[in-house]
Amino acid sequence: MKRKLIFIGFILLVNLTLNVQKSAAQISLDLESGYVSTGYNNIRIPGDQGTDFSLSEELKAEGKMFYRLRLNYNINSRNTISVLYAPLTVNSKGSVPRDILFENVLFPANTDLDATYKFNSYRLTYRYELVQKPKFNFGIGFTAKIRDAKIALASGDDESEKVNVGFVPIINFRLSYNPIEKIGILFEGDALAAPQGRAEDVLLALTYKASDRIGIKAGYRILEGGADNDEVYTFSLFHYAAAGLFIRF
């Protein structure tokens, strides 16, 4: 699967090289913030021997403010390169009425637990606009994602953590529809499913064009995914109430 996605990404980059026009490039900044809460967050580490438990149903997961930053470079009307920084850290507290074996450390039943779930994302994306019409645009591309993940559990003197930093290739898409001049609907994200796991980071939002340089968005973002193997079992879902600002330079 990864080889196929890398091949797709290569073809897209070749297309970029062959189709660059002599139009002026444009840089824009996409700032997003709001409130994130946990839907589910199910853990078993190691995946073949650890204890199943939930960071959101058996422990109490905090909701919190979040932020994300994306820098876009529009080479021309059809070709866009962007970089994204999307940090996420959620803390959970509580106790579980059974022993928890987590990353080879045994946490006794009914002890106070402090859990940290970190999933920071760094992404480089290329997208090509397949459809360009006055009211409708659709583009598809390739994202090279670096995940910086950590799950940690602590109780008194006992503590353990699982750290994972790795590369994930994902398909990128963006669809926008503007029924009237200044107001539109935006549906965009990165998503991929494979036998090893899945990942979805998708936004549905209303947009408002305040000026030629400033745009506003507000909507709902979902972040979901995980992996199931001998090393780790983890699947999580996060809900985002998101608002943002587009700034074109």
Domain covering 2-248: architecture:
Beta Barrel (2.40)
CA dihedral 92→89→175→80, nearest 10 degrees, is -170
> Is residue 207 within 8 Å of residue 215, measured between CB atoms?
yes
- The pLDDT of residue 181 is 87
List of long-range contacts for 209-213, beta carbons under 8 Å, 24+ apart: 209/181, 209/182, 209/183, 209/184, 210/182, 212/248, 213/247, 213/248, 213/249
Nearest to 16 by CA among 104, 67, 61, 78: 78
- Average confidence score pLDDT of the chain: 91
* Tens of pLDDT, residues 23-57: 456 999 999 999 999 999 999 999 999 999 999 99
* Tens of pLDDT, residues 171-198: 999 999 999 989 999 999 999 998 888 9
Give the start-to-end residue ranges of the domains of the chain: 2-248
